[in-house]
Amino acid sequence: MAKPHRSTALVSRPLLAVGLLGFLVLCLAPLLLMAERLAGDPSVITDLVGGRTLLLLLWTVLLGLGAASIALAIGLPFGFLVSRTDVLGARLLRALGIVPILLPPIMLAMTWTMLLPLRGPVMCALILGVSSFPLVALFAARAAERIDARREEAALLTGGLGSVLAMELPLILPSALGGSLLAFVVAINDFALPDYVSSVGRKFNVYAGEVFSTWQVDGNEARAVATALPLLALTAAVVLPLLRARARSGGVTIDSTFQHPRTLKLGRWRAPATLFCLAVVTVGALLPIGRLAYESGGGSRVFSGVSIRRDGWTQGGGAAQNMGATPAPTLTGAGITDAVSAAQAAARAASGGAPASSPSPGISPGISPARAAAPQGRQRSVDPAAPEVEAALKASATDDLSDFGGGLPAFASNVASAFARALDLSRESLLWSLLFAFGAATLATPLALILGHAIARGRRGVTLEFLTILPLAAPGTLFGIGSIVLWNHDATGSFYDSGGLVVVLFAGRFLAVATLICAGAVRSFDRRLEESAELAGAGPARRLFGILTPGIWTSLAGSWIAVFALSVRELDAAVLVPAANDTAMFRVFNAVHFGRDDFVSALSLLVVFAILLPGLLWTLFSRRRLRFLP
Amino acid sequence: MSPHQQHAIAIRGLTVQAGATRILGPVDLDVQEGEHVLLVGPSGSGKSTLLRAIAGLEDPAAGEIMLFDRSASRAGSRSTPPQERGVGLLFQGGALWPHMTVLQTLLFVLKRRGLTGAPAKQRAEELLELVDLTGINGQKAPTLSGGEAQRLSLARALASEPRILLLDEPLGPLDAPRRAALLDRLAELEGQLGLTTLHVTHDPGEAERVATRTVEIGDDGTLSAVAT
């Protein structure tokens, strides 16, 4: 097949310059700075070679493989069933099937560590697999929808549904595998979830946590980058072939004669298939959300009437203690919050010293000067993000212990008071989360459109695409450290302490996602429409915004919503940057370790609502389907 | 109709709808065993829909389809699944599976019929010889020329040993010499295999020499015989 004709004529140079400048500042600069620190002290690489590193890497790869396999096993059949067959409520199931990837994995963990006795890497892989199965399902669904109706019917005539599945599996599998590779990348870079699962069970380490710990111990950026190198290499090894495969096959299955395949009738398999899909969304979305709602109303103590006296200030997982699980022998869960203060202080010291963090009022009010000035190394601290929240929660921790028993009325009353308390104590955090996410999505989407257009239409599209994906491939912790090093200087001190940095941090972290979505949309947009506008005399900007944008606006909306949702749930990079410590997700992370279950649950539900809000609004007010896929 | 002949296809009052819109019918049609009937008519008159309904790919909103005197589809009742109707359909454009080679395409169909291993390979070779498509077993479908693709599509339809062959504009992508060659091959195969053929075309002139009769489907969905 002839290679698709590519031309730079359709790409506006000034616009591309703006896009690249934005990309450089938001995404590349933090990573380049970190690379520069490594170049200044290459000897730290030799420290990497050791049994501990290899063991951690092995665990991390096994964790990633486990999560990717689970995601594939669930996501492939789910994606096919809800997109192509007559399972009952397919449309609703399909929408619900996206929710697990939007939920912070830690919220799934809060439910599943209660319900299953599994702990350690197995539980972690299970949760990460369930959390990321929508990636596989989305890719599988799209591939299944791109099979021409006549090809499918030809298979149907030769042997019914079995033939159709046998013929289509090889066509869908590569896309589904692509999704599972992304699940692998997500899994190996996650460190908040292993930390949480460690806190309610036996301790285990993963490589992403090592990057954080290295930074926490001595604030040596070179060592932190060196530690992150294997993860970067692993991620690049996975992502590069994916990009190449996508560039080769982009959109070739659909041409002008394409006929959309019809809904397949499952016959006697309809009921079991519906049950399977229902079970999947129950496990991944309904149960975690339901459990949060249940806990926000007081949980078992309300319905069983059993008085489980508990310390409202459990360390290492209150939920697990309620269930009789053994608390973590070490204060692992608290370890990260301890480390936050130390790491932030180290950042200030290491990056040239800038202002000892007097956070600007209203932007990051939760950061105490004491924490900002904390010395390097481990130091015990209690909910560093919000001493005032801590005090309020402590006061309320004993208030409601009389709520045992009481059934539904008490439950309803507890729900109301838990939400009132969560709103009361975290209103600002929620608002900041929404504002940060709104800002990040609004900043990233236009840049993504420009870069996506250059990727799809420019000469060096694959190279540019790989570059744009780098920040996503780098561990969140590394990106966070890089942002601190970049912005924490006298000249940029006020910006560093402001919410502006959080917007920039989130936009930079997730610009890759938006760019991939936009690039995919541009690839599927008929280039002749742009060429005819060019012949009619329309300039590059007019073609981009007047011809292309209206044609791919569902993808633009999809990329905006994706960046918004990911920003609201972001934790790995945000945990390091002081100004980002006032997000609702950060507060949930702290409260999981230190707060009451009903408060944590109510706040988590509010975060979930914030994450899903734009998608819900879109569903309510638009008939068009959002496009999230690259 | 001679005493030993039966209706291969008998259609009574067939109507097909897409949602609330009627896209075919009501149609009545009888095709005797061994006939090659040309079905002509303007675009959008429902020619392809009629073939798809006979193949079981469309459910009737009203009426009934009988194949060899057995009810295959009746409005409101369970239809015979497509794969059990003894029907082969040559799709417009071929509709070949892009990820399979020529040989794999046929082996795939033969496996559904319980034929695997060496016997399947031998049968596949025979089918390819039957449609004059030898020496390109390893080529994938997208690399085939228009004529080769149509012949592979024909071999795929024949692999399931149908008694009825439905052709949906099979000559569309071919140039004149290749059209003539494929028609000749079709006529030979029909005689050899005792096939009944319903052949949709927008150009009756091209296939009249192999047809036993021509039927025209009007804008209102009614059928009428065309003198040839």
Question: Is the confidence at residue A399, as pLDDT, over 60?
Answer: no
- Taking contacts as CB-CB distances below 8 angstroms, the residues of chain B near A160 are 81-83
Q: Which amino acid is at B69?
A: D
> What residue spans of A474-580 are helical by DSSP H?
476-487, 493-496, 499-523, 527-535, 540-542, 549-551, 553-569
Mean pLDDT lowest among A2-11, A59-68, A253-262, A613-622? A2-11
Residues 6+ apart with CB under 8 A from A589: A106, A192, A336, A337, A571, A575
When CB atoms are compared, the residue of B56, B142, B156 closest to A154 is B156
- Quick: pLDDT tens for A71-86: 999 999 999 999 999 9
Mean pLDDT value across residues A546-559: 89
Residue A144 near residue A174, CB atoms below 8 Å = no
Q: Which amino acid is at B159?
A: A
> What residue spans of B62-116 are helical by DSSP H?
102-112
Q: Does B23 touch chain A (CB under 8 A)?
A: no
Question: What tens-digit pLDDT sequence spans chain B (228 residues)?
Answer: 454 567 889 999 899 888 888 888 788 889 988 889 999 888 888 888 999 999 988 889 999 999 998 888 888 777 888 888 999 999 888 889 988 999 999 999 999 888 899 999 999 998 998 888 888 889 998 888 888 888 899 899 999 889 999 999 887 767 777 778 888 888 888 888 888 999 998 777 777 778 888 888 887 667 776 655
Residue A204 near residue A120, CB atoms below 8 Å = yes
Mean pLDDT value across residues A302-324: 39
pLDDT band, residue A404 (cuts 50/70/90): low
Q: Looking at CA atoms only, how far is residue B96 from chain A in angstroms? A: 6
CA distance A189 to A479: 12
Question: Is the confidence at residue A584, as pLDDT, over 80?
Answer: yes
pLDDT at A48: 66
When CB atoms are compared, the residue of B52, B92, B108 closest to A167 is B108
pLDDT at A390: 52
What does the mean pLDDT of chain A come to?
Answer: 76
pLDDT at A78: 96
pLDDT band, residue A557 (cuts 50/70/90): very high
Question: Is the confidence at residue A370, as pLDDT, over 80?
Answer: no
- Taking contacts as CB-CB distances below 8 angstroms, the residues of chain B near A172 are none
pLDDT band, residue A280 (cuts 50/70/90): very high
Residue B90 near residue B154, CB atoms below 8 Å = yes
Q: Looking at CA atoms only, how far is residue B160 from chain A in angstroms? A: 6
pLDDT at A49: 66
Position of tokens 């004059």?
B132
CA distance A97 to A135: 10
CA distance A574 to A192: 11
Q: Does A160 touch chain B (CB under 8 A)?
A: yes
By CA distance, what is A266's nearest residue in B? B81
By CA distance, what is B78's nearest residue in A? A267
Q: Looking at CA atoms only, how far is residue B86 from chain A in angstroms? A: 9
CA distance A135 to A176: 8
Question: Is the confidence at residue A397, as pLDDT, over 70?
Answer: no
- Percentage of residues in chain A having pLDDT higher than 90: 18
Q: Residue B30 belongs to what H/E stretch? A: strand B21-32
Q: Does A256 touch chain B (CB under 8 A)?
A: no
pLDDT at A246: 62
By CA distance, what is A169's nearest residue in B? B99
By CA distance, what is B86's nearest residue in A? A157
Mean pLDDT value across residues A108-135: 87
Question: Is the confidence at residue A385, as pLDDT, over 50?
Answer: no
CA distance A625 to A611: 18
When CB atoms are compared, the residue of A1, A157, A166 closest to B83 is A157
pLDDT at B210: 81
pLDDT band, residue A32 (cuts 50/70/90): confident
Q: Does B109 touch chain A (CB under 8 A)?
A: yes
The CA distances from residue A141 to A90, A153, A171, in Å, are 12, 18, 11
Closest CA to A211 of A405, A540, A533, A480: A480
Q: Does A170 touch chain B (CB under 8 A)?
A: yes
CA distance A461 to A454: 7
Mean pLDDT lowest among A349-358, A445-454, A550-559? A349-358
Q: Looking at CA atoms only, how far is residue B179 from chain A in angstroms? A: 21
Which of A157, A164, A173 would best serve as a mutation to test chain B binding (most B beta carbons within 10 A)?
Answer: A157
Residue A296 near residue A601, CB atoms below 8 Å = yes
DSSP SS3 for B3: coil
Question: Is the confidence at residue A507, as pLDDT, over 90?
Answer: yes
Q: Looking at CA atoms only, how far is residue B227 from chain A in angstroms? A: 33
Q: Does A249 touch chain B (CB under 8 A)?
A: no
- Taking contacts as CB-CB distances below 8 angstroms, the residues of chain B near A159 are 83, 109, 112-113
Q: Does B167 touch chain A (CB under 8 A)?
A: no
* Alpha-carbon dihedral angle through residues A335, A336, A342, A344, given to the nearest 10 degrees: -170
Q: Does A326 touch chain B (CB under 8 A)?
A: no
Distance of CA A159 to the CA centre of its chain: 42
**Which is higher by pLDDT, B24 or A227?**
B24
β-bridge pairing B70-74 and B21-32: unpaired
pLDDT at A358: 34
Mean pLDDT lowest among A2-16, A182-196, A234-248, A525-539? A2-16
> Number of CB pairs < 8 Å for A and B?
62
Mean pLDDT value across residues A280-287: 92
- Taking contacts as CB-CB distances below 8 angstroms, the residues of chain B near A151 are 95-98
Q: Does A428 touch chain B (CB under 8 A)?
A: no
pLDDT at A304: 57
Query: Most confidently modeled of A356-360, A616-620, B148-152?
Result: B148-152
Mean pLDDT lowest among A293-302, A493-502, B107-116? A293-302
Q: Looking at CA atoms only, how far is residue B91 from chain A in angstroms? A: 7
Question: Is the confidence at residue A8, as pLDDT, over 60?
Answer: no
pLDDT band, residue A350 (cuts 50/70/90): very low
pLDDT at A250: 44
C-alpha triplet A376, A380, A381: angle, nearest 5°: 105
**Which is higher by pLDDT, A325 or A116?**
A116
- Taking contacts as CB-CB distances below 8 angstroms, the residues of chain B near A155 are 97
> Are A157 and B112 inside 8 Å of each other by CB?
no
pLDDT band, residue A593 (cuts 50/70/90): low
Query: Most confidently modeled of A102-106, A221-225, A555-559?
Result: A555-559
Q: How many CB atoms lie within 10 A of CB A263?
A: 11
The CA distances from residue A345 to A40, A48, A340, in Å, are 22, 25, 8
Task: Write out the E strands in A13-74.
Answer: none
CA distance A570 to A503: 12
Is pTM beyond 0.80? Reply is no
pLDDT band, residue A310 (cuts 50/70/90): very low
pLDDT at A255: 54
Q: Looking at CA atoms only, how far is residue B108 from chain A in angstroms? A: 8
Query: Most confidently modeled of A311-325, A438-452, A594-608?
Result: A438-452
DSSP SS3 for B164: strand
pLDDT at A387: 53
Q: A484-497: string of b/e by CB count within 10 Å (b at 16+)?
A: bbbbbeeebbebbb
Mean pLDDT lowest among A302-311, A369-378, A445-454, B46-55? A369-378
- Taking contacts as CB-CB distances below 8 angstroms, the residues of chain B near A157 are 55-57, 82-83, 87-89, 160
pLDDT band, residue A179 (cuts 50/70/90): confident
pLDDT at A333: 35
